[in-house]
Amino acid sequence: MTKILVTGANGQLGKSFKLVAKQFINFKFFFVDLPEVDLRVKEQLYPFFEANFIDFVINCAAFTEVDQAEDEVELTLETNLNIVSNLCDLSQKYQFKIVQLSSDYVFDGNASKPYETNEPVNPIGVYGKSKAAAEQVILNAQIDAWIVRTSWLFSPFGKNFVKTIFELLHNKNEINVVADQSGAPTYALNLAQFILLAISQKPNFEGIEIYHFTNTGATTWFEFACAIKNELNTDCVINPIRTEDSPSKAKRPKYSVLSCEKTINEFNLNPNSWELALKDCLINLKN
């Protein structure tokens, strides 16, 4: 039986893995997070790997507060680099494979067509720089690993755009949403399902590969918010605004759609549209 450790188990993606794990009966799962284990401290990890033979580590643990990262530069880099560096060292010692979650924020957003997996990274903020640096740690390591980039993650768990807009639409008469940033929303449950399906298809892969996974289709934050409103049928007015009129510390990529063609072809996928995924998420939120 394939044994999989999911780190960052209390975050929205970790919780999504917990939810979909029951669909994969041939896998045995372990879930860890703070405060039980601090992945930044390698010494805390040895006892676990000595006691448990692990085939795969899916690393969902990261500092992901994009605006806060601009103020907490050292913490962001320490967290996102140390965790990956420790896992790479442990991978060499204990021979497990790594699935590292990464982000559209490794790109600068100046493109006009979806980013391919082999395009050079050029992050414009602290968070993106930390994720790009973590990717480089893996690319430099002599291990077997997948880097899976995703974007605009949402789910019924944790803090994300869909949950925020869901609350605002029920409690405000009027809200402003940025209309000049484009990306591809990704349902965390679909992302978790893809990764586990990919592992079941290629459990013995070797070397390092980069994949992109999002739901199909692209949109703007404003259009995304309007789609949520249409599903909820509220009276709240949504106003489109420009990025420069929306106060935030971190620069966001203007266009960060990821090309998933390589992923779809290699794993014979038929991903949900973001609209269908949103409907499922909102059903879960309403319940």
Full DSSP string of 144-185: -EEEEEE-SEE-SSSS-HHHHHHHHHHH-SEEEEE-S-EE--
pLDDT of residue 158: 93
CATH number at residue 62: 3.40.50.720
Tell me which residue range forms the domain holding 103: 2-158+184-215+256-272
User: Does 112 reside within a domain?
Assistant: yes
In a domain, 151, yes or no: yes
Residue 227 in any domain: the answer is no
> Residue 10 falls within a domain, yes or no?
yes
What mean pLDDT is predicted for residues 12-18? 97
Domains of the chain: total: 1
Tell whether 228 is covered by a domain.
no
pLDDT, tens digit, 9 for 90 and up, residues 170-219: 999 999 999 999 999 999 999 999 999 999 999 999 999 999 999 999 99
Residue 74 lies in a domain: yes
Render pLDDT for 115-163 as a digit per residue (tens, 0 to 9).
Answer: 999 999 999 999 999 999 999 999 999 999 999 999 999 999 999 999 9
What dihedral angle (degrees, nearest 10) is formed by the CA atoms of 263, 269, 274, 277?
-130
Rounded CA-CA distance 140/208 in Å is: 10
Q: Which residues are catalytic?
A: 127
Quick one: 170 exposed, middle or buried, by C-beta within 10 A (0-12, 13-18, 19+)?
exposed
